[in-house]
Structure 1
Amino acid sequence: MTQRAKTEAGSREQGAEPAHRGLSAAEVAERVSRGEVNDVPVRSSRSTADIVRSNVFTRFNAIIGVLFVIILIVGPIQDGLFGFVIVANTGIGIIQELRAKKTLDSLAVIGESRPTVRRDGKAAEIPTSEVVLGDVIELGPGDKVIVDGEVLESDGLEIDESLLTGEADPVVKKPGEKVMSGSFVVAGGGAFTATKVGREAYAAQLAEEASRFTLVHSELRTGISQILKYVTWMMVPTAIGLILSHLFTLNMAGDEAVRRMVAGIVPMIPEGLVLLTSVAFAIGVIRLGRKKCLVQELPAIEGLARVDVVCLDKTGTLTEGGMDVSELRPLDDADEGRIKQVLGALGASDPRPNASLQAIIDAYPAEDGWRSTDALPFSSARKYSGAALQSPDGEQTTWLLGAPDVLLPSGDDALAEVDDLNAQGLRVLLLARAERDLHDSAIADHVRPTALVVLEQRLRPDAMDTLRYFEEQGVQAKVISGDNAVSVGAVATKLGMPGAESPVDARKLPADQEEMGKVLEGGAVFGRVTPQQKRDMVGALQKRGHNVAMTGDGVNDVLALKDADIGVSMGAGSEATKAVAQIVLLNNSFATLPSVVAEGRRVIGNITRVATLFLTKTVYSVLLAILVACCQIPYPYLPRHLTLLSTLTIGVPAFFLALAPNKERAKPHFVRRVMRYAVPSGLIIGLAAFATYLLARSHYDGPDALPAETSAATLTLFLSAMWVLAIIARPYTWWRIGLVLAMALGFLIVLVVPWLQNFFDLKLVGTTMPWAAVGIAAAAAVLLEVAWRVVGRRFPA
């Protein structure tokens, strides 16, 4: 049970009967039987049918499927091996995404909101899906309105409807007024009755958008799609050119011409690249799921790896949620005993205390005889709360509890004392007696300071290591907090954060975003930041070209989380923050963030590596098809040859390389970075293989010349492609070296085992041409090394 539920339960035990008892068990059963239930499933992932459909019915699977059927018709079966490889790859993709779905669905259940519903006069937390039409649902700060309804009770209830209307200012709700699902509470509390549930409520659409498993808005996937589009355009004219030249110019038999055409087309398709990207992301979801990290939008793994600024909210991120009262300092000779009684009464006046007030409640329990006649809940915009109290002797007084630098005028003597305490990393609240009505807009301008309540915050033990990780990785950390700037700076200094010794009061920040961005880049700690300012600060950093991640757990973080490139919420945070965040840390540990960054960098770095392998094959395949068509000679390879080479030089090694550890920093311009290596590598390999083929055509003659020519050309192509693999596999580790050697051994086995020679139609004839093929491959390897070094120097990433 949450602290709010415990507090409310305690108040009811003391005899506070709720005004609205809610539905009875019989009424709930009746509504369930009529289907008036909030039965919208929480979707954290695609359905099984969607996963199967997206992996099977792809553009390239369709092309390859047609080519596979053609080969099955003209035979032999070994030329159709590429079809079986695609079936296996698609199966792997489906299995991995189903595993990721299972992980996401189980995490979504853990992180699912459980609204407090009042039935038979008793409040209890129930799953969202069990809410029925007419239920009385209680609300407190940070709660998300899960269904549409009408307000029954209001205790200073303020609702933020910015996710619906775009209007950032909270709306005060009174009994009888409408509340819309998708909005959330920023201050006060109350209760409402559900008037629309299930798919009729706006929440159904919001939940769909907030927690869907997506594969879009990713630079990796966008880049790959762009590449595949260009490949598709090249395939059709190439296929037509190959079939026409083989049929009419070379007068080749129809079945043989079709096999050669298929052999020229199939290797152009980097079909495994799409699969490996999906698999890498899916495995990333599974790995993070084991660390209780819910990735609500899949590209968030990639997105967080690209951020260069992470904005942190102090409370709940650098510090733990709980606090302790370390000292009480009366002002102007105020009676300490009386102060404790007032603090106890103030705590009892708020049924939904925040962390600061909960610490006061724990330190100063409410005494008998004190009664709250009116209350003003805490608001992050106001920076204070208040209550109108009646003492046991009948005296009526009004009190405020909040930020000293907000409640006291500039230059007040008490502020110097507050600054000293803040400099020690302590949090200070001012208890002040107000002279005006509690709801007077100018109440804070006329107060009599009575005491300073000194609170000690609990630092997260893992925060220092996490901040150090971001510093080492070149990611700037910015602490953005609503608390006093000096106090926040002291906390950050204790954690060893660079720049924390010069905190900035956000009230002095320039309003112009360009000027604000300059200040933000130079500072590390910002205090007294309003919710709207948090949003403006994220926008200012983005305008200056930064990729910004925002972490938070309170309602005051929602707007900034929504606008940031990546929003990260704590699992114990408000429902509103979890609804708009792409990543939810269900274990409430800031230390999980480096794991997400590392996972994203692994995916981006490895996919960039293996994409070079796939696209090198595409380039040399297109080049060979063009050269063959222009020279009016038979295509040198059969489909089985290129299936073998693709499996050994790309397919198998790419699968392992895509899942290997990789700590390289994520860099932009994916397509450009891949093509700058793939194009020269593909051209060198294609020219080397074609040169061997032409040399073999002049060396061999007779009816069996073509298989010998093909075997020599295949040897050059394999050795050259293996050298690219050897370059991609750097820096070498024992398993990377073993992987390259295992692929080389696999090809050697094919060359020496008789039945494999016959199956793949590969047999080296004589010694002159095979050694010539090796020599040409060696020359290609030298050129590949030179090209990679030149490209790396002249076109740095």
Structure 2
Amino acid sequence: KLTSEAKTIDGYEQSEMVRSINEIIKWVGIVIIPIGVILFYQSFFLNGVTFQKSITSMVAAVLGMIPEGLYLLTTVALALSTMRLSKRKVLLHDMKSIETLARVDVLCVDKTGTITEPEMKVKEVVFEGEDVTERLTDYVLASRDNNATMQALQAFIPEDAEQKHAALKVVPFTSSTKYGGIIFDDATYLLGAPEFIMRSEFEKIEDKILPYTDKGYRALLFAKYDGTELEHGLSGSVEPLAYVIFENPIRQNARQTFEYFKKQKVAIKVISGDNPKTVSEISEQAGIDGARNYVDASTLTTDAQVEEALETKTVFGRVTPKQKQAFVSALQKNGHTVAMTGDGVNDILAMKDADCSVAMASGSEATAQVAQVVLLDSDFVHMPNVVLEGRQVVNNIQRSASLFLVKNIFSLLMAVFSAVLMFTYPLEPSQISLVTGFTIGVPGFLLALEPTKDRIKGHFLTNVFIKAFPAGLTDMVSVAALVVCGKIFGISDDEISTMATLLLGAIGLIVLVRISRPFNKKKWAILWLNVAGLVFCFLFLKHLFAISPLSRADFLLVVVFMFAADSILRHLTHATERIARKIRKKRQDSPRHFGKKG
């Protein structure tokens, strides 16, 4: 039923990074059509330029506005990360989960299979009175449950054990009732959470269970029930017969994994169907910060109580599948990016609603199918690796996308400038390709593979625009001023075009230096590789890239504009960052309004 309900929930949702790139492509696709038409009309009909020259200048402007290679760059970076994670026994069902996990600020984890090992075993059986091993054996052999609890009980009873009494009706354990029951030919027996079976009389046996839950053991009650109606709650009297004590060892690397998330300021919420005291003790042993702040989720009956508990508590016990889903939704409503881990069917709904879901391969097959990330060896210690991969992908693509957007901003502004001042776009398509190749394309791909552990801050599109706009504006101002000077000094159009290409290449390398900081050997190699590529093309592939011979005066003019461009870029960058800081501060000071994804 839970699996069927999960299938009705909307599945795929694009990540912020892919959504931002799609926005760039969409608006570029809308803008290039009217601008291309205007440039051709102005050049051919108003300026009297030849048809061929009008077409090539229009194509150069349109080509410059297209972020060619950005999709390929994103796909390659994500695919390589997916391959690296697969070597660490991490399977991704969709690549957007890499980015989402890198942005997570709340991680919801289940106790069994995440904090602890998936297998549990029976530590001991404590009898309330007489030995009821025979009746407990009958219950285990007749039960149809196939969860970790029943598997531990099956391993506990002797292999040659035989069922002494016939089972007339079997009611399986459910997460809503917290117990299972079997009606035999002579009596009805229950097995489950003591407080749910005993109800108002739980205090009578609480002292007998407390010593075990205080040590992190799980305790189930085996009891005789005076009744036959089990599906819709209990109403008859209950006779406690025995307490089955389970132990579930904590994963070896759990403490260091949770310590990592604590350092990264990722809040941990432990959400389990077990006794809250037991879950709290296990969480404390695993080193989860605030593990002593626990609550019984069955006492949370209103949305306000849930929201308050999520802000103040760390451990939640006796949680139903619907409550897990509600917890995830409440956290998202308050602006958090939520990851949910689990291994059981009762985790499916919450995992489906979470921004990113992580399943253990050793758990339910249905859970592994709906999860975005599957830990193939069911070891939670791999989670930091997934987070680091996400940071590397997002930070590197963000840096490379800034390079791509520089060209787009320049071409757009330059096209508008050309149309307003009624002169033909000064660059050839081949020259745009030359500059793009060695200041954007090649370095962008190589920088996207750089290892980085920096935490992701802010929104993708905003971060990209803040870095790209000063450089794009600098390109436009510098080239526009060069074109105007060229017209004044009577320099030919071919020479102006070559000078503009040389100037754009120089500014592109300056931007590359700024974006690549701090430098290492690999980044220095990338920089000098692209410098060498540009020099080679200018010297030996002149015809291919429409490079015309330049006089010494032309070179001197380019050098002057290059130094001027460096100064303009520096001042524009400082101004943009200052404005961005003010906007961020204003947003932080204003009331926050969150949607589902914050």
Q: Given the two structures, how large is their TM-score scaled by the length of structure 2? A: 0.90
Indicate how the Cα distance of structure 1 residues 278 and 369 shifts in structure 2: closer, same or farther if over 3 A, else same: closer
Shift of 1:556: 1.5
Indicate how the Cα distance of structure 1 residues 367 and 671 shifts in structure 2: closer, same or farther if over 3 A, else same: closer
1:603-752 map, 5 Å: 603-667=393-457, 669-699=459-489, 701=491, 705-751=492-538
Q: 1:431 aligns with which of 199, 222, 230?
A: 222
Q: 1:247 aligns with which of 44, 48, 56?
A: 44
Q: 1:386 aligns with which of 154, 177, 181?
A: 181
Quote the residue 2:161 is aligned against: 367
Q: 2:307 aligns with which of 502, 507, 517?
A: 517
1:533-548 map, 5 Å: 533-548=323-338
Structure 1 unmatched runs, 5+: 1-158, 165-181, 183-205, 391-395
Matched position secondary structure for 2:227: coil
Quote the residue 1:488 is aligned against: 279
What's the CA shift string for 1:344-381, capped at 9, x where partnerless? Answer: 22221124442223222222226346233233322222
Matched position secondary structure for 1:624: helix
In 1: Cα distance, 2:292 partner to 2:340 partner? 22
2:574 maps to 1:574: no
1:245 touches 1:632 (CA, 8 Å); kept in 2?
yes
Matched position secondary structure for 1:757: coil
1:52-451 map, 5 Å: 159-160=1-2, 163=5, 217-331=14-128, 334-335=129-130, 338-365=131-158, 367-368=161-162, 370-374=164-168, 375-389=170-184, 396-408=186-198, 409-410=200-201, 412-437=203-228, 439=230, 443=234, 445-451=236-242
Q: Greater strand share, 1 or 2?
A: 1
Structure 1 window deviating more from structure 2 (538-547 vs 369-378): it is: 369-378
2:197 touches 2:234 (CA, 8 Å); kept in 1?
no
Q: CA RMSD in A?
A: 2.6
2:137 touches 2:157 (CA, 8 Å); kept in 1?
yes
In 2: Cα distance, 1:773 partner to 1:298 partner? 45
Quote the residue 2:593 is aligned against: none
2:103 touches 2:456 (CA, 8 Å); kept in 1?
yes
Indicate how the Cα distance of structure 1 residues 502 and 711 shifts in structure 2: closer, same or farther if over 3 A, else same: same
In 1: Cα distance, 2:75 partner to 2:139 partner? 54
Matched position secondary structure for 2:249: strand
What's the CA shift string for 1:81-102, capped at 9, x where partnerless? Answer: xxxxxxxxxxxxxxxxxxxxxx
2:415 touches 2:425 (CA, 8 Å); kept in 1?
yes
2:195 touches 2:202 (CA, 8 Å); kept in 1?
no
In 2: Cα distance, 1:244 partner to 1:765 partner? 30
Quote the residue 1:507 is aligned against: 298
Quote the residue 1:476 is aligned against: 267
Quote the residue 1:200 is aligned against: none
2:120 touches 2:149 (CA, 8 Å); kept in 1?
yes
Quote the residue 2:555 is aligned against: 770
Structure 2 unmatched runs, 5+: 585-598
Supply the AA of the counterpart residue of 2:564. Answer: A
Shift of 1:721: 1.6
Indicate how the Cα distance of structure 1 residues 242 and 535 shifts in structure 2: closer, same or farther if over 3 A, else same: closer
1:548 touches 1:564 (CA, 8 Å); kept in 2?
yes
Supply the AA of the counterpart residue of 2:107. Answer: V
Shift of 1:411: 5.6
Shift of 1:539: 1.8
Shift of 1:298: 3.4
Shift of 1:673: 2.9
Quote the residue 1:125 is aligned against: none
Indicate how the Cα distance of structure 1 residues 301 and 372 shifts in structure 2: closer, same or farther if over 3 A, else same: farther
Say how many residue pairs are matched: 579
1:489 touches 1:503 (CA, 8 Å); kept in 2?
yes
Quote the residue 1:55 is aligned against: none
Matched position secondary structure for 2:69: helix
In 2: Cα distance, 1:522 partner to 1:783 partner? 50
In 2: Cα distance, 1:457 partner to 1:561 partner? 23
Indicate how the Cα distance of structure 1 residues 229 and 379 shifts in structure 2: closer, same or farther if over 3 A, else same: closer
What's the CA shift string for 1:304-333, capped at 9, x where partnerless? Answer: 3332211111111111221122233222xx
In 1: Cα distance, 2:457 partner to 2:570 partner? 23
Indicate how the Cα distance of structure 1 residues 233 and 484 shifts in structure 2: closer, same or farther if over 3 A, else same: same
In 2: Cα distance, 1:442 partner to 1:566 partner? 35
Indicate how the Cα distance of structure 1 residues 248 and 357 shifts in structure 2: closer, same or farther if over 3 A, else same: closer
What's the CA shift string for 1:564-583, capped at 9, x where partnerless? Answer: 22222222322332343233
Matched position secondary structure for 2:119: strand
Indicate how the Cα distance of structure 1 residues 363 and 229 shifts in structure 2: closer, same or farther if over 3 A, else same: closer
Structure 1 window deviating more from structure 2 (674-683 vs 479-488): it is: 674-683
2:587 maps to 1:794: no
Does 1 or 2 have the higher relative contact order (CA < 8 Å, sep 6+)? Answer: 2
Quote the residue 1:101 is aligned against: none
Q: Given the two structures, how large is their TM-score scaled by the length of structure 1? A: 0.68
In 1: Cα distance, 2:206 partner to 2:119 partner? 25
Structure 1 window deviating more from structure 2 (575-584 vs 721-730): it is: 575-584
Structure 1 window deviating more from structure 2 (453-462 vs 585-594): it is: 585-594
In 1: Cα distance, 2:49 partner to 2:465 partner? 35
2:137 touches 2:163 (CA, 8 Å); kept in 1?
no
In 1: Cα distance, 2:433 partner to 2:205 partner? 80
Quote the residue 1:120 is aligned against: none
Shift of 1:240: 2.7
